[in-house]
């Protein structure tokens, strides 16, 4: 079906599936099939931040004091995160927008991608401060074998879906020959590609960031690189909400609350989807190994990082009906929670440098009966 | 003029609920401002959390018995028999299972 930017046929978005129905025409939010996406948009927008708000100038001095092994850990993580957000800043738009059929989900995907571009800009902000010429770091991202391995695994699912969608939208269903290769395009296959792609994105948002988050916050625990940690906390807060959105999409499908055919596909591809997640877990563990190949850093080592990945994976996989495949029951890095709590991520001018300013000092929760003891 | 009122009024309407956490001891919690998550933590029970605002779903917990009310609308995905302790308070005795 040919894509149109404004579908002139009137259609009832309340009866459309999330994907592969009629293209959205009017961006209206007065009636919503899945109101959760509108709520996520509101929440995400309330989190708006700019990298420039965070002063990272003290990090430059801290960076000089780090050992070579620690610098390797710090810079490699930034490279990996730059890769992840480069992909996420464009791919949900390109892959999902042409096939979305309800306005609230369309706007959610645009909002989501926009925030990923803020993350990308923040990496430049951090690196510009550390190096007079950061281009060496960025250039290495497309050369570094460890990063390339992960890149191809993440982008593959997006690319397959995008290519099949393009063929379907230009040529329709059937057999099509492109550069001598025959591609069979049918709706069932397209939906299967979408399902696998959504699982790959979910795994990305769920665990792919967490090894580097742990390293960043381990530096912050030693009161090092605190400007960077402040930025990463803001990023982690956004990624949490992105993860919530992919979990909602997957669960809406699996529980038959959207397209019934997607419920069938979810059951049919359950093992394949689980394998995508398990591979992401493996790759994160390999990443931890790569980080520590030239030496450890205080407070963290490969083993404990791998345990943390398993611990997080258990929770994330259970949330989408994949069970808890790992034995670990207790959080090996309990201090991580302090950095991931949204009470601790406000940006105020007086605490832009030192992120520990707020930890344990201010309780921003105000309940209505806090004023009960006062009388006018 | 602002003056402090005595606290006696508050203590008069003190309501206590019993929270039974699968695999841990039960405890009693007063009906107050604190979220269920805070009560669980205050009793030294390890519980997974991230955002504490209902949007990440890290503290997702199974509600086996009882009822809760939400202080903030939970945005994270939870199943019909699950709750988010970070943004709810018990409104009866409850029995829960942490993941």
Over chain A, what is the mean pLDDT?
Answer: 92
A376/B50 Cβ within 8 A = no
A39/B73 Cβ within 8 A = yes
* Closest CB from A331, A334, A342 relative to B53: A342
Q: What is the pLDDT of residues A48-68, one digit of tens each?
A: 999 998 999 999 999 999 999
**pLDDT at A171 exceeding the cut of 50:** yes
Report pLDDT for B18: 94
B57/A247 Cβ within 8 A = yes
**What residues 39-68 of chain A have any CB closer than 8 A to a CB of chain B?**
39-40, 43
Over chain B, what is the mean pLDDT?
Answer: 88
* Closest CB from B7, B49, B75 relative to A40: B75
**pLDDT at B5 exceeding the cut of 70:** no
Residue in B closest to A40 by C-alpha: B75
B39 touches chain A (CB under 8 A): no
Q: How far apart are CA B63 and CA B48, in angstroms?
A: 16
State how far residue B74 is from chain A, nearest Cα, in angstroms: 10
A342 chain-B contacts, CB cut-off 8 A: 51-53, 55
A4 touches chain B (CB under 8 A): no
A39 chain-B contacts, CB cut-off 8 A: 73, 75
Report pLDDT for A344: 62
B51 touches chain A (CB under 8 A): yes
Count of other CB atoms within 10 angstroms of residue A295: 12
Report pLDDT for A257: 95
**pLDDT at B2 exceeding the cut of 60:** no
* Closest CB from A240, A319, A373 relative to B50: A240
Q: Are the CB atoms for A163 and A138 separated by under 8 Å? A: no
Q: What is the pLDDT of residues A253-276, one digit of tens each?
A: 999 999 999 999 999 999 999 999
A365 chain-B contacts, CB cut-off 8 A: 33
Q: Span A206-233, mean pLDDT?
A: 93
**pLDDT at A43 exceeding the cut of 50:** yes
Q: Span B66-80, mean pLDDT?
A: 94
- State the catalytic residues of A: 123
SS (H, E, C) chain A: CCCCCCCCCCCCHHHCCCECCCCCCCCCCCCCCCCHHHHHHHHHHHCCCCHHHCCCHHHHHHHHHCCHHHHHHHHHHHHHHHHHHHHHHHHHHHHHHHHECCHHHHHHHHHHHHHHHHHHHHHHHHHHHHCCCCHHHHHHHCCCHHHHHHHHHHHHHHHHHHHHHHHHHHHCCEEEEECCEEEEECHHHHHHHHHHHHHHHHHHHHHHCHHHHHHHHHHHHCCCCHHHHHHHHHHHHHHHHHHHHHHHHHHHHHCCCCCHHHHHHHHHCHHHHHHHHHHHHHHHHHHHHHHCCCCCECCECHHHHHHHHHHHHHHHHHHCCCCCCCCCCCCCCCCHHHHHCHHHCCCCHHHCCCHHHCCCCCCCCCCHHHHCCEEC
State how far residue A309 is from chain B, nearest Cα, in angstroms: 14
**pLDDT at A297 exceeding the cut of 60:** yes
In angstroms, how far is CA B33 from the centroid of its own chain? 9
**pLDDT at A359 exceeding the cut of 70:** no
């Amino acid at each position: 079906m040919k894509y149109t930017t404004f579908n002139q046929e009137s259609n009832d978005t309340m009866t459309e599936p999330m994907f592969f129905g009629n293209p959205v025409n009017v961006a209206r939010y007065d009636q919503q099939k899945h109101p959760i996406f509108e709520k996520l948009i509101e929440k995400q927008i309330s989190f708006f931040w700019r990298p420039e708000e965070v002063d990272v100038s003290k990090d430059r001095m801290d960076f000089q004091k780090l050992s070579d092994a620690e610098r390797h850990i710090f810079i490699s993580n930034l490279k990996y995160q730059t890769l992840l957000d480069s992909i996420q800043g464009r791919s949900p738009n390109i892959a999902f927008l042409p096939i979305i059929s309800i306005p609230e989900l369309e706007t959610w995907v645009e909002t989501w991608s926009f925030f990923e571009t803020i993350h990308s800009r923040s990496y430049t902000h951090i690196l510009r401060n550390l190096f007079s010429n950061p281009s060496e770091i960025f250039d290495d991202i497309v050369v570094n074998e460890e990063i390339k391995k992960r890149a191809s695994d993440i982008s593959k699912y997006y690319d397959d879906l995008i290519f099949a969608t393009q063929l379907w939208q230009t040529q329709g269903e059937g057999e099509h020959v492109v550069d001598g290769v025959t591609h069979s395009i049918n709706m069932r296959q397209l939906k299967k590609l979408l399902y696998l792609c959504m699982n790959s994105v979910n795994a990305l948002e769920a665990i792919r960031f967490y090894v580097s988050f742990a390293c960043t916050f381990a530096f912050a625990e030693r009161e090092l690189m605190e400007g960077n940690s402040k930025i990463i906390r803001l990023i982690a807060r956004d990624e949490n909400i992105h993860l919530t959105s992919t979990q909602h999409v997957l669960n809406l499908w699996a529980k038959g609350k959207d397209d019934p055919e997607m419920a069938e596909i979810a059951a049919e591809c359950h093992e394949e989807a689980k394998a995508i997640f398990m591979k992401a877990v493996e790759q994160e563990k390999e990443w931890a190994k790569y980080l520590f190949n030239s030496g450890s850093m205080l407070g963290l080592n490969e083993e404990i990082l791998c345990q943390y990945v398993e611990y997080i994976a258990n929770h994330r996989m259970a949330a989408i009906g994949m069970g808890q495949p790992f034995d670990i029951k207790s959080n090996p890095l309990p201090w991580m929670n302090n950095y991931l709590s949204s009470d601790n991520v406000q940006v105020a001018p007086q605490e832009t440098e030192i992120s520990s300013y707020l930890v344990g000092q201010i309780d921003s929760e105000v309940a209505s009966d806090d004023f009960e003891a006062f009388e006018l | 003029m602002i003056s402090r009122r005595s606290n006696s009024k508050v203590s008069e309407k003190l309501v206590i609920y019993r929270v039974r956490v699968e695999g841990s001891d039960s405890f009693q919690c007063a009906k107050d401002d604190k979220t269920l998550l805070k009560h669980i933590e205050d009793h030294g029970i390890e519980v997974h959390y991230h955002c504490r605002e209902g949007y990440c779903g890290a503290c997702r917990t199974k509600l086996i018995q009882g009822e809760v009310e939400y202080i903030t609308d939970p945005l994270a995905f939870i199943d019909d028999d699950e709750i988010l302790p970070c943004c709810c308070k018990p409104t009866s005795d409850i029995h829960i299972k942490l993941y």
